[in-house]
Amino acid sequence: MRRYRFSLCLAVTLAAGLVYSGSQAWAQACAVGLNVHPHAWILLNHHRLAQCTAAAGCKCVSCTNPGGSVTSMCYPLAAPIPH
């Protein structure tokens, strides 16, 4: 039983490692804002990158690209942010 459990754990670990390394081939440094209030702006050095336009709030993601530029996107939340 121990040998079976070890083999299973090893197989899952290797499979997860291959999936992770494949998905991270073009890795970017990103920051995620989970609860961004409606009409809030995402700023970098006083420059507007994105705005939350959803009535319920947003989840915003900002990433640096390989060239050094920064991009930002806001995605609407399914339910409003609790107060």
Q: Supply the DSSP string of 22-66, one letter for each residue.
A: HHTTT---EEEEEEEPTTPEEEETTEEEEE---TT-EEEEEEE-T
Predicted confidence at residue 26, as pLDDT, reads: 60
Average pLDDT, integer, range 41-69: 90
Q: pTM for the full model?
A: 0.59
Max mean pLDDT range (11-15, 45-49, 64-68, 78-82): 45-49
Predicted confidence at residue 16, as pLDDT, reads: 43
Predicted confidence (pLDDT) per residue in 10-54, tens digit: 444 444 444 444 444 566 788 898 888 899 999 888 989 999 999
Q: Which residue has the higher pLDDT, 66 or 75?
A: 75
